[in-house]
Structure 1
Amino acid sequence: MPAHLITSPQRTEMLLVAVLVQMIIMIGAARAMNHVFRRFGQPGVVGEIVAGLLLGPSLFGHFCPGLSAAIFGATASPAIAVLSQLGLILLMFQIGMSFEFRQLREARASKALLPLAVVSVSVPFGLGLWLGHLSAPVFAASMPVNVYALFCGVAMAITAVPILGRILTEYGMSKHEIGVLAISVAALNDVAGWLLLAFVSAVATASFSPAHMALQLGGVFAFVLLCVFVLRPGARWLLRAFPVKHNEVPPTLMAIVLVSVFALGICTFKLGIFGIFGGFVGGLLVHHDHAFAAAWRRQVGSFVLICLLPVFFTYSGLHTNLLGLSSGSDWLWLLAFLLAAVLGKIAPVVLVSRASGYGAHAAMLLGVLMNTRALMELIVLNIGLETGFLPQKVFTMLVIMAVVTTIMAGPALKLLLPRLGLDVPRQIDA
């Protein structure tokens, strides 16, 4: 039918059908790869990440370009982009409310928190900055060298809070001291990473000013005070006013929580640390109420994990071509980025953990957990690619690095948990 003859309701139906087809493929592929990876002892979420990459130009788009374009289009649709971000916000909310932060009252955990956050950002950032300058003549000769190097540094510094949260939950470590410390350090790590990304973006667009950065930091500090002294008491009152009954969240409470989480997402976006952290903050405000957290996970959690999160993985995968490395030199540079990323995260975290009183196995476990990057890394890399300050080949190398560092977590957990007297789940949960 000619385009001028298509009515508005018909356009809506056509868009709906297109999105439904995409959702069917994304959810089905993610669930299938989830089962495959769990059979090999990996967290299912790693399989979901790989499924998203395989649906992009790395496999499906390479061997079936016409079919891929017909299903996903030349670029991901705005509907898919919005659904992917919505899923991340709700996932971050669930992660925030799933952890027992009272464990941080332990002397060694509170002693280690800030030093771990500092070294887990500064060391890999410095190594990424150095590698960026070193590789610029090869990959970024036509780009501003400092901006390219800064993007490399930020990509190295990030830790994937949502993926780390999923891994800790799947291995039953969400209430263990090591798990709580890891997610807390990762949260501080990522806030610092997003501030660095905002700084790099401002430099790249020549809009940076010390006054603007000071204003942004002041806004973050004011937001923290608002959460501690206003929103946290308000959340406690709200949960008392609408208590969970029969293991179900009351509809009115669910509506208020959703509105609040989305509003917090707007606040963190305006502060320059991206909307998904509003979800994490919302989770922290209600994490003390175990009945609410359990009921929410049962009523909403599975839908988010099974339906919405795979959308983001595919959205990222559509922008990633793992087949772009074509020479031996490319693979040597990939190895350099990978070694710098792994050593830059694990080594300083192990050293600081040991100095804070943790044993060798616990320190190594913290280092491996902080080395998981995939989801947040993909966000940073896509920003660098879309703004034109990250070359395609380096983008591909850093995507591979992000996936490899995340895959490392599963075998390391199986090796280290028994040595800490902890059980490894026989069947990793979905």
Structure 2
Amino acid sequence: MHNSISSTEVFLIAMGIILAVPFLIWRFGNLDYYAPLVVVQIITGIVLGPGTLGKVLPDYFGFVFRPDVVQALNGIAWWAVMVFVWIAGIELNLKQAWLYRRESSITAGLALGTPLLFGSLAAIGLLMFDGWIGPNARQWQFVLGIGMACAVTALPILILLMEKLDILREPIGQRILRYASMDDVAIWGVLAVILMDWSRVGRQVGFLMIFALASFCLRALMRWLAEKDRWYVALIWLVLCAWSADWSGLHFMVGAFLAGAIMDAEWFDQNDMDKLRQHVLLVFMPVFFLSTGLRTNWAMGGSAVLIAAAVLLVASVVGKLIGTRIAGRILGWPRAESSIIGWLLQTKALIMIIFVNILLDKGMITSETFTALLLMAVLSTMLTVPLVAPRLQRLQSLIAKSA
């Protein structure tokens, strides 16, 4: 029977599963308070992966997620995540960060640096055991990569959660976006260092030089264009930057982020940008979450992966909370304010998952490490709203505080 079904039909079956299963679980399970749909999609991707469905129903797994179908899904996933990272780059608000540079640099530096330290210590612990470091990684790359994965704040998911909490457009929401924006720049800068290929360093330096010159020209062109034309030019620019970064030895996601980071959000209507982000999440990103789930691995035994995930979760959350608590003491914030900011900034999900996908692609981590980090990202994100919402209700005066 399987032989009579075409690749197109199998592809559509896979798409139906990807779109329907997580939505039905999320909607009928009333999970909106605990997790946005994207988190449920990530969890569903893990369940549909080889470590779960592949073991329970290997024949059906092999039939639906056969190589030609997975290849087609991966193409959609690549484009989806490129556009999403590009949007994240555009939405960086570094002008506001510069305007409040003392407060922003102290908070962003400690909110990034403390969990980076804790995560790096956890990574050093993992190095004592076999099976965690990737075949292409040096120890410093593995330690720095894991540390940064623990320090990441997922800016796009943070925006979604603050919309749910009705604080995105409030002063405290804009403050938190400033801190997350500065950390976002650091994250991609560290990734570029980790991925630096000294055998192709000439290409990479050449890419950065050409990128700087082309960015200057693009910015002049975008100011001159009508808004409807800016969207097309911006997407062409995205493709060129992603291809050039990949060709130079950096990952195409680094190019996608840089393509957006040099653009001004004011060039595009904010409502249109919000709709584009929502539509990418609705139409394309579920495929990325599924493709991520297909890469999970429990080969070392579920207990080892779960223990590693728990250690990384503690390093990530505690590090972020301690970092914002120290920043709060320096800046004179109340303890409750530091706690709320820390819990929001520890949100992981998308950007961290993209980050560790790149590390896996480059052989810096193993699939077991990837699985542990993925579980950590999901759990940290699910903690956010249940822990922040009650605190905000008790501290309504905090919402309007601008600095």
Give the TM-score, by structure 1 length. Answer: 0.75
Aligned-partner residue type, residue 12 of structure 2: L
**Counterpart in the other structure of 1:62:** 55
CA distance in 2, matches of 1:27, 1:141: 32
- Runs of 5+ in structure 1 lacking a partner? 4-12, 243-249, 425-430
**Counterpart in the other structure of 1:160:** 154
Query: Offset of 1:182 from its aligned partner?
Result: 3.0
**Counterpart in the other structure of 1:282:** 260
CA distance in 1, matches of 2:26, 2:255: 25
Match of 1:139 among 125, 130, 135: 130
**Counterpart in the other structure of 1:9:** none
**Counterpart in the other structure of 1:25:** 17
Tell me if structure 2 keeps the 8 A contact 1:43–1:410. no
Tell me if structure 2 keeps the 8 A contact 1:117–1:185. yes
Q: Deviations over 1:340-395 (max 9, x none)?
A: 12112221123214423444333222211221222233233334445544344433
**Counterpart in the other structure of 2:271:** 294
Give the TM-score, by structure 2 length. Answer: 0.79
Q: Closer, same or farther in 2 for the Cα pair 1:230/1:183, shift >3 Å?
A: farther
Q: Closer, same or farther in 2 for the Cα pair 1:92/1:362, shift >3 Å?
A: farther
Q: Deviations over 1:256-289 (max 9, x none)?
A: 3432343444466559464366368538735226
Q: Closer, same or farther in 2 for the Cα pair 1:198/1:412, shift >3 Å?
A: same
CA distance in 2, matches of 1:378, 1:256: 28
Tell me if structure 2 keeps the 8 A contact 1:45–1:166. no
Q: Deviations over 1:215-257 (max 9, x none)?
A: 9689769857875x6544543432xx35xxxxxxx5x554334
| Stretch moving more, 95-104 or 57-66 | 95-104
Aligned to 1:285, what secondary structure does the other structure show?
A: coil
**Counterpart in the other structure of 1:53:** 46
- Runs of 5+ in structure 2 lacking a partner? none
Match of 1:235 among 222, 225, 240: 222
CA distance in 1, matches of 2:245, 2:328: 30
Query: Offset of 1:47 from its aligned partner?
Result: 1.9
Write the mapping of 1:320-339 to structure 2, written as runs, cut at 5 A: 320-321=296-297, 325-327=301-303, 331-339=306-314
Q: Deviations over 1:106-136 (max 9, x none)?
A: 64xx322223333333322322222222232
Kindly report the root-mean-square deviation, in angstroms, between the aligned alpha carbons of the 2 structures: 3.9
Aligned to 2:103, what secondary structure does the other structure show?
A: helix
Aligned-partner residue type, residue 59 of structure 1: T
| Stretch moving more, 318-327 or 80-89 | 318-327
Match of 1:366 among 338, 341, 362: 341
Residue 35 of structure 2 corresponds to residue 42 of structure 1: yes
Residue 396 of structure 2 corresponds to residue 418 of structure 1: no
**Counterpart in the other structure of 1:192:** 186
Q: Closer, same or farther in 2 for the Cα pair 1:96/1:355, shift >3 Å?
A: same
CA distance in 2, matches of 1:361, 1:222: 47
CA distance in 1, matches of 2:18, 2:198: 39
